Structure 1
């Protein structure tokens, strides 16, 4: 089985849209869907919406920009980026179930004129050269072993001088993970890399790394708040990441948090500019 197939198998869920629709109905969500409601499950990364906001402030996105969301998932960040900037956002994700459900949610949020999610590989993108003004990826590189090929393909579709934002879980030393984790059911889907691997891939593709920020303390505080909220709740939430991650959500998050506290992994944000 190919690396792409292994990753798609990890994330695929044929009943994803039905599960989301049922949960939205149970929660009494009204149409058009509110992005704050969707953020309870469509911001599938450490820190959720707060982390997206932090990255967005560093990308200088403005109205009229064409923005590329790499590994867009359900499209939560793409919809948020478009809402606050009025930029047009194109998302690309390997997992068809995510794209199908994400486009349905975009329609129910009345945002189809600004956000378009497509199925495909970010190592072989169906876009022309120099097409986008900004690109970002959020918790994606952990599934892509060839960081050099990834960086080169992003450089190809970005206009010279454009910014590329990365917010990924990265390796500290040589982590020995306990699986499953949110991005991998087992070692065959795991492609964690150290920040230096990202830096080398970016510079090799013609990027200049402008900043690198370790977000470990932010992540630890986020999970502490989440744990406190869960301990106070009378029952599990109707809307939450379990809709995306499945019945072993608690195990995946517990293993990831253990690796975070064990200094094996760190969420890292990088901003790079292509072309000069």
Structure 2
């Protein structure tokens, strides 16, 4: 019982029209100007105009009003505000507002299985791609250990792993739903949108870069800790949008499955990927200038 999924993310972006076009092509359904839906999660991305990119709000679903009361008590030192059916508090390191409200659980996806029969003209599925849901988001901030306290002690998330210096945290059987990464300022590193299988990752990523090669960031590949297949693309607001699929999330029997195994150390970012990712992880546009200055 408790917090169980990401409901939505609200962002400010400098070029709203260009960013809207990117996410329409990415496969999300624009249900209102700047509001985008997935197949299972409904409206999960809200884009607002702004002078600079900004993470405005992360909206999280819980099971019951009792869960809201319990979380509000744990977050009391952060200054909780209440509205009809929801509570909210600001994580002080990042400055991101986190809202929680009662929401239905999404149906669990069944693991992909190979077809038992095929038609000669339908060997590979083609057509429009609509991601299933917003699976996770990664936020850069200046003190990941301090910010982690808000999500683990306050909201009740569990720690899965540390990768590239950041805590990967989960609600339940997904390996991670919220990631905090070291950064010189608060920024959205990436959002990750679950699709049905690795074929949809390849199909979606290929279509996104067909006429826009500059969008390609990293992939196709497979992560080391979560075993997710991935392809990252650059969005016009300086963050990354990831197509991903993981049969391991679907097969995990309970939330304890992803508890860290003592003595294993930090796992690699990727077991394999194209192109190879060397010493530096994916770097959003907002971090490039500070990193270049530091190297000079």
- TM-score, normalised by the number of residues in structure 2: 0.27
Higher relative contact order (CA 8 A, sep 6+): 1
Instruction: Judging by fraction of residues, say which structure has more helix.
Output: 1
Instruction: Judging by fraction of residues, say which structure has more strand.
Output: 2
Q: Looking at CA atoms only, which structure, 1 or 2, has the larger radius of gyration?
A: 2
- TM-score, normalised by the number of residues in structure 1: 0.29
